[in-house]
Chains A and B, each alone.
Chain A
Amino acid sequence: MGLISTERELYGEIQLTLKAIFEPESIAVIGASATPGKWGYTILKNMLGNGFPGPVYPVNPKATDILEQTCYPSVLDIPGPVDLAVIVVPISHALAVTEECGKKGVKGIIMVTAGFSEVGGEGKQLEEQLMGIVDRYGIRLIGPNTLGVVNAHAGMNASIISKLPAKGGISFITQSGTLGLALADWTMEMGIGLNIVVSTGNKANVDDVDLLEYLVDDKQTDVIAMYIEGIDHGREFMELAKGISKPILAVKAGRTRSGSKAVFSHTGSLAGSDDVYSAAFKQAGIIRIENIDDLFDSALALSVQPAPVGNRVGIISNGGGASIIASDTCERLGLTIPGLEPGTRASIKELVPKFASYSNPVDTAGLASYETYNGIVKHMLRDPNIDALIVIYVHTVMWDSRIPANAIVDIHRDRCIKPVITCWLGGAGTEAGIDILKTGGLPNYPVPERAVKALASLVKHHGFLEKVKE
């Protein structure tokens, strides 16, 4: 334990310099280009167009100005201080410009330039030399071979993502550059808010442990989502994650078993690295997610809803089919559908037609009026047998999707101890209702299975808070 506390003390300093990467006051884009299509152009354009308040300096010895900004031949020629340098130069220049950053007093670097250890051979030596330079100057570096960093709340897009994501509580650490960026793009389409997105690249200097340390104290981050191919300091990572009460979700690539190695012991042949990751994640209270689409579904629910104290789910729907699918999925994922208190049933009975189901799952037999949804949800939330609610609305032309949405958003505002997950089903005609849900902080999913999976992650997180988290 002695070792860990010393490292924690060190993190105090690291924090300051990671701040220079994620919350810089001034940025230089070294290798900025005036040619559309080049990364040096894209990154500068992204930096300038998203409301970053501080100065952004293009650096390129061959240009005088780019995108109407004065261009400097070297970072050393910039008149003011530079916190962060985004480096997008050819590999042959990478070490020289890094050295200049050191002399300038730059605190953080995002090294987009590739051709280091990921290509092996000479690249490995170059990376060692690069680390020699940054260590000498005490610079913290993301990458090399990264596709950049985004901080939505700071209006900073130091990446090749086309536009800044909506502001939200999810921060995303991704080891795969392209996949990570595609996912970030996808969250924008889904309207999911993000805070920090970081493509880790080769993790030569800043690694997963550093990033977790930073994000745990970051006030804008409520949920940490990770796409992991491999972790270098597994034990340290586990110990750190155990102490973090913010939800951590991870997709780990490479689920296939190795199985090919020579067999000495059964344990040796059966304990593939994937099994070890699963065990380690569970022990550290990290929610392992199978598929990348589920990653953001779960992250969204965790970022806007509280974790339920148990796994007993109430389901409300205006159509039987959808609630059957929801119940089946609940059962498959270890969530239960308990009976309701007699009082709750009696109250619901008065709100629905005679032939409707007033036990759990509640089926309104088509009704989707304000009074029905508002009343049923209120009664179910009060029922001591229920820990969480899934509210389904199946759209038909007879109803306005906004009415049931308003009915539950109005309740949700004054009682938020039990999580409520919604599923407005039916595509065209549901958008207006979904907007109301979103604004009201209710996570909505287009199909019941996805709603239930997201709820299952909330339940899992509560279990970790009770058992694992220190």
Chain B
Amino acid sequence: MNGNEERLWKLLSDWNIPVLPTAAVSSPGAAVEVAKTLGHPVVMKLLSPDITHKSDVGGVILDLGSDKEVKDAYHGMMKSVKQHLPEARIEGVVLQKMAEPGLEVIVGAKLDPQFGHVIMFGLGGIFVEICRDVSFRVTPVDREMAREMVLEIKGSPIIEGTRGREPADLEAIIDVITVLSSMLEKNPDITEIDINPLIVYSRGSVAVDARMLTK
């Protein structure tokens, strides 16, 4: 992992933001062993400092359920990436336990030149990308403000549960927003951060992916 990525996951774990168990490996043999420890099924993601959009080059493979599938995926990924981007440096792969399905949300922040850190909340996927259904608050964000943020987006009924779906854990989302706010206060050099997706269950949540930019 590059320095920022390593720091990001360490920050998330130091601040008790739940993350999916993750490990980096650099050989197919190690991948098989680690996948077994994490528990199948797993996700494999390419580890390369030169590639941002991993899925475009075959650098993300989901739902690997056995030793053989893990081994084949490793070889297949290396081949595919070399075909697409022969010059890219490859450090290995990251393995992550597959997340149980839940409600995908995004919690992020950016440093605004006038107002300092600003936190964003939205539902994942097309809600954030196409509908821009998101809310913002300047830090520090307390629990009451975080609750308002979550409930003011247009899609908030989805969080409260619709069509037989159980309501998602609102308090868990509020936890992540407020913890992120405190974390940013202690880490003023962070210019952009996304926890995307944060998967929210009827009890608890888990950060599946995240990225961060620093000064």
Contact = CB atoms under 8 A, between A and B. Distances in A.
Contact of A280 (B106, B115, B135): B115
> Helix, strand, loop or mixed for chain B's interface?
strand
Contacts of A276: 112, 114-115, 118, 136, 138
A235 B116 contact: yes
A232 interface: yes
Interface in A265-296: 265-268, 270-271, 273, 275-276, 278-280, 283
Contact of B116 (A230, A234, A267, A273): A234
Given A265-B213, A266-B196, A280-B138, A271 B118 contact: yes
B106 A279 contact: no
Interface residues of A, number: 21
Interface in B165-215: 192-194, 196, 211, 213
A134 B194 CA distance: 45
B154 interface: no
A411 interface: no
Contacts of A279: 118, 135-138
The 3 closest A-B pairs by CB, nearest first: A267-B108, A234-B114, A234-B115
B132 interface: yes
A230 B129 CA distance: 27
A78 interface: no
Contacts of A231: 114
A264 B106 CA distance: 14
A235 B140 CA distance: 11
23 contacts: A230-B114, A231-B114, A232-B114, A234-B115, A234-B116, A235-B115, A264-B52, A264-B211, A265-B194, A266-B129, A266-B194, A266-B196, A267-B109, A268-B194, A270-B132, A270-B134, A271-B110, A273-B112, A279-B135, A279-B136, A279-B138, A280-B138, A283-B137
Contacts of A280: 115, 138
A309 interface: no
Interface in A149-201: none
Nearest to B132: A270
A463 to B, nearest CB: 12
A265 B132 CA distance: 14
B114 A275 contact: no
A235 B185 CA distance: 14
A65 B33 CA distance: 96
B138 A283 contact: yes
B120 interface: yes
Contacts of A266: 106, 108, 120, 122, 128-129, 194, 196
Given A267-B193, A271-B110, 20 more contacts: A264-B52, A265-B193, A265-B194, A266-B128, A266-B129, A266-B194, A266-B196, A267-B108, A267-B109, A267-B110, A268-B108, A268-B110, A268-B213, A270-B132, A270-B134, A271-B112, A271-B118, A271-B136, A273-B114, A276-B138
Q: Which of A273, A279, A283 has the most CB of B within 10 A?
A: A279
A283 B142 CA distance: 12
> Helix, strand, loop or mixed for chain A's interface?
helix
Interface string A244-271: 0000000000000000000011111011
Contacts of A278: 136
Q: Which of B115, B122, B134, B135 has the most CB of A within 10 A?
A: B115
Nearest to B119: A267
B136 A275 contact: yes
A206 interface: no
A238 interface: yes
Interface of B: 52, 106, 108-110, 112, 114-116, 118, 120, 122, 128-129, 132, 134-138, 145, 192-194, 196, 211, 213
Contacts of B145: 283
A259 B193 CA distance: 17
Nearest to A271: B110
Nearest to B191: A268
Q: Which of B118, B135, B136 has the most CB of A within 10 A?
A: B136
Interface string A329-345: 00000000000000000
Contacts of A230: 114
A231 B211 CA distance: 30
A144 to B, nearest CB: 22
Nearest to B115: A234
A236 to B, nearest CB: 10
B192 A264 contact: yes
A457 B4 CA distance: 45
Q: Which of A231, A267, A275 has the most CB of B within 10 A?
A: A267
Interface in A74-90: none
Contacts of B194: 265-268
Nearest to A259: B132
Contacts of A264: 52, 192, 211, 213
A256 to B, nearest CB: 13
Interface in A213-236: 230-235
A276 B138 CA distance: 7
Contact of B192 (A232, A233, A267, A273): A267
Contacts of B52: 264
Given A276-B118, A278-B136, A279-B137, A265 B112 contact: no
Given A231-B114, A265-B194, A238 B138 contact: yes
Contacts of B122: 266, 270
Contacts of B132: 270
Contacts of A265: 108, 110, 192-194, 196, 211, 213
A268 B136 CA distance: 12
Contacts of B213: 264-265, 268
B146 to A, nearest CB: 12
Contacts of B138: 238, 276, 279-280, 283
Contacts of A270: 120, 122, 128, 132, 134
B69 to A, nearest CB: 31
A286 B134 CA distance: 21
A273 B138 CA distance: 12
Contacts of A275: 118, 134, 136
Contacts of B110: 265, 267-268, 271
